[in-house]
Each structure stands twice: as structure tokens, then as C-alpha cells.
Structure 1
């Protein structure tokens, strides 16, 4: 996802001969870069939680997008819009303030696409995924800001945090059956581990201090793909439920198989994302 626009010599966006990534800057510049990236990421996830909450807990809103041609058309448009904006940002992500306007449209488009998916897929699963991811991401960001050092990859801490949040939600604010809600934990873990890895190994080394907009878009890749994996989960559940009734496959086995497919697909995407440059 780290696309490099083919700028020609003399182009206003062309890079200087001596490229200085953020990692080579002083500490204050690096922290200013990360603050901008995570502030925009936090704004997107906040809007995503709001939209998902409205769709899940207001049946008329969900019915509008599911049962009316206008609502369904708006939903399809919300799925396509992030990719349209992404193509435009590929060429204009360093043009200020145009790049900020494009980023705002991109953030709103992704938030609505994920939130409106609650009307078609299992909204409780998606809402819990969004909440878990939001809380873990904010917690990790605040921790590093207070400690004044960058992320240290500690998978055990992330797993422990996700499990505690999951148990809290299921105990005090149950959103559905625990067997179904377990999908939210691995999805959140994959996304948060990806953020930690990407911050340590890619963001600081591949971008300049002016490219925080494009860095924010890069961190949104997993969000976009997770949207379609949730749709895949919804469609897959329907197909496998019909098939299992004929061959007698246990429902738990079906869920386990779908979970394995999703996790493996996410791993492949992350590997591919970090190999192409």
C-alpha cells in the first residue's frame, strides 16, 4: 500500500535528492508526525463507532438500507467511494490543503461503509470489533505518548487487554451470544498488532514529515479489507448454514472454519502489504 507516485523531475511534489524519512528527524518531529497520524485515525474510529451504534440500535435505519432501493444504493456507493478517493489521493496526497479535504472524505467514507455493514451482516459482531479496536488503539497511543517512547511489540499485553475488554462487554454490556461475539476479539487483535508492527517498521522509515496524510491512509488498509471480510463472513454463514443442514456438519465447526479463513486471509494481506514497495 506504500505507493510512490511517479513524480517527474521539477514536479512540485517531486522529492528532494536527499530523502529524509521521519525516523531520521529529531524526537519532537517524530512525535508531531505520529500525533497527526493517530489523531486522524482516532477521528475515523470515533465516527465509525457512532455510525455502527446508530445502525445496530435503530432498526428503522437498518431497514432503510436493507429494504429500500435508495438505501441499498447509498450503501453500495459507500463501499466504492473509499477506493475512488484513494485513487485521487495517490496523485494529490502532498497538495495542501486539497489532501486534507480528500482525507476527510476518505475517513467519512470508510466509517460509513463499515458502520452501514451492520445493517447487512451481524451488526453486534462488527460493533464489538469496532469498540475493541478503538479502545485498544487509543490505550496504546496514550501509553506511548506518556512514556515518550515508541511501540514495543508485546503480543501478550495486547491479547490480555483484548480479553479483558471482551469480558467486560459480555458481562456488563452484552451485545449478543458469546460464541458469535468471539469473532470480534481476533479481528481487533489482528488490527492492533498490525498498527504496532506498522508503526515500528514502516511509518517512521518510509515517510517524510509532510506525508502524514498518506501514512494515515496506509494504516486504513486493514480497515477496508476487514469490511469485506465481515461481508464474507455474513455470506459464508448463510451458505454454510444451508450446506451443513444437508451434510450434518456441526455449527461450531463451521464457525471455526470461517474464523481460520478470515485470520489466514488477513495474514496474507499484511504480508503482501509489507512486501510490495
Structure 2
């Protein structure tokens, strides 16, 4: 190779560049210009760079400033979507738990338990009504009736106050069975004091009312779960009217007062049936958890039996 093609020494190349016709690169002697400003963009709602300003790189140390990760990474912009907090994640998981399939399985379980309870109750009522020896036995020994009343209130308080069992053995189902037997005997003993015609009419009216209320609750968009306070007041008033009626009837029998009290009681418990059915369905202001199937069946069962007993009083007074 010719000698001129050899590269010059480093000192000569720095002091006397070989290609002197190249433009001279200006040396930066002062500090770097400030970084471009970030302002909210009008179109997308996010930040954009004012490219009209000079300088394209942020000064040293900006990676550790606010808005950047501790490891020096640039955060990803979410285009205006707020980040989810732990509370929002809990709400999302709760909504997933309250899905439609879980709610439908819960409703089926509650109504299966309720159907078994009502079959047992009205079977006992039929025996106490149509079998004459059983009817006369209950009338002659009223102590059994009061014993069933005590068992009814005791087991009801236990079932309402206790939570669902976490053991393998379902103690709540056993208590629910004892409660069903006690209330069935209570309803049968009350029905034994009335004529067969009045009991039969009360059964038919109760069945029609319960089916109509259930269809109404599944179809309506009106939220009755927000009326819990009003129902509590009506229950207190019903108790007061019952005490006054019992005191008045002790001294003088007034048929219309007894029928008015029974009619008011039937209306109040029909409203309670609407309230508890909507708690069971869900998608309202208040709802029962899918784990509380014992409480759901218990509340509906008590409403149905009380509707039957109040209608029985009305039909019995009317047939007399």
C-alpha cells in the first residue's frame, strides 16, 4: 500500500485533521437547555411535548423525580383511565361472587327447603283438621300447644342469632327441622279449633297470595328492600293492636275487632313476604348473602305460615 494511505498518528489527527473541508462542529460549553414542557393535550386529555422548544433530553436526575419509578423506568401512561385501588378490587371480587349463576343456585336451594317445610306443615295441619281423634286430643290437652310455642320461640332465636356452621355436621339444618316441626304442630293445633271448611279456604287463599307475591317480586322493578323501617313500625303496631284486642276480647267478644286485627296481620305479613322475597332475589338495595340459605328459607317460611294463620282467623270468623 502507498505510504500516503496509512492513517496519521493520533496527535496529528487531532491537531491537523486530514479532511479540512468538513464543517466544524460547535462545542457545547454552557449547561444543557431545560427539557420540553408537558401540557395537557386538547385531543386526548394526556400530556404532549412542546416540540417547538430546544432540547430533547431531560437533565440528569429527572428519572428519580416524582412520577417516575425508583428504578429509573418511565411509567406507562393510561390515557386518562384511573388506576384501580384495593377497594375497587374488593368490589369487583364481590360482584363476581354475586354472579347470576351463584344467585340462581341460592334461590333454588332456598325454595327447595321452603317446599319441604310447607309440605310438612300443611300435612300436619291436614291431620289435625281431618282426623277427629287427633283434633280432640289437642283440644283436651292444651299444654302440648304451649310447649310447642316455647320451642318455636327458642329455636327461632337460636337460628336468627347464630351464623352458618363451619363444621361438617349441619347443625343449623337440624335446628331448622326442629323449628319446622314445632311450628307445624303450633299451626295444626290452632287449626284444630276451626271448622274444616274455614281451614280449607285459608289454605287456598294462602297459596294464591304466595304465588302472586312471588311472581310480582320477580317481575317488578320497585325496590321494597328500602322499606325495612316502615315494616318494623308496622310490626310494632300489629303487636300493640294484638295486645289491645286480647284485652278487649277478655271482657266482651267483638267479632269485627277480631276480624280487623286478623286482616291487618295478613296484610303486614304479606308485605314482609314481599320484602324477604326481594332480599332473596338480589339486585336491590339490600340482599341476602348466598351463604345465608337457612335464614332465607326461615324468613319465607314464617311469613307464609303467619299469613295462613291470620287468614284462618278471618275465614273462621266469617264461617261462624
- TM-score, length-normalised on structure 1? 0.52
Residue 213 of structure 1 corresponds to which residue in structure 2?
294
Aligned-partner Cα distance in 2 for 1:227–1:80 = 20
1:120 Cα offset (Å): 2.5
RMSD between superposed Cα atoms in Å: 4.4
- Compare the two structures and name the one with the higher helix fraction: 1
Q: 1:82 to 1:225 in 2, by over 3 A?
A: same
Equivalent residue number for residue 185 of structure 2: 112
1:1-277 paired onto structure 2 within 5 Å? 25-67=98-140, 69=141, 72-95=142-165, 97-122=170-195, 124-134=197-207, 137=210, 150-152=218-220, 194-201=272-279, 204=282, 205-223=286-304, 225-226=306-307, 229=310
Q: 1:186 to 1:232 in 2, by over 3 A?
A: closer
| Kept after mapping to 2: 8 A contact 1:66/1:119 | yes
Distance 1:49 1:189 in 2: 21
Cα distance change, pair 77–66 in 1 and its aligned pair in 2 (3 A): same
Distance in 1 separating the partners of 2:96 and 2:199: 35
Report the alpha carbon displacement of residue 32 of structure 1 after superposing the two structures with TM. 0.9
Give the Cα–Cα distance (whole angstroms) in 1 for the partners of residues 96 and 296 of structure 2: 14
The structure having more radius of gyration, on CA atoms, is 2
Give the distance between the partners of 1:66 and 1:186, measured in 2 at CA.
27
* Aligned-residue offset at 1:200: 2.1
Alignment: residue pair count: 188
Segments of 5+ residues of structure 1 without an aligned counterpart are 1-17, 155-182, 238-251, 256-277
- For 1:109 and 1:54, the matched residues in 2 are separated by 15
Structure 2 residue runs without a partner (length 5+): 1-89, 223-260
**Cα shift at 1:233:** 6.4
Question: Whose RCO is larger (CA < 8 A, sep 6+)?
Answer: 1
Is 1:82–1:110's contact at 8 Å kept on the other side of the alignment?
yes
In the TM superposition, residue 185 of structure 1 has moved relative to its aligned partner by: 9.9
- What is the deviation of 1:78? 1.5
Deviates more, 1:219-228 or 1:80-89: 219-228
Q: Deviations over 1:67-100 (max 9, x none)?
A: 1x3xx22111122212110122233340151111
Deviation at 1:59, TM superposition (A): 1.5
* Distance in 1 (alpha carbons) for counterparts of 2:186 and 2:95: 31
TM superposition shift of 1:134: 3.7
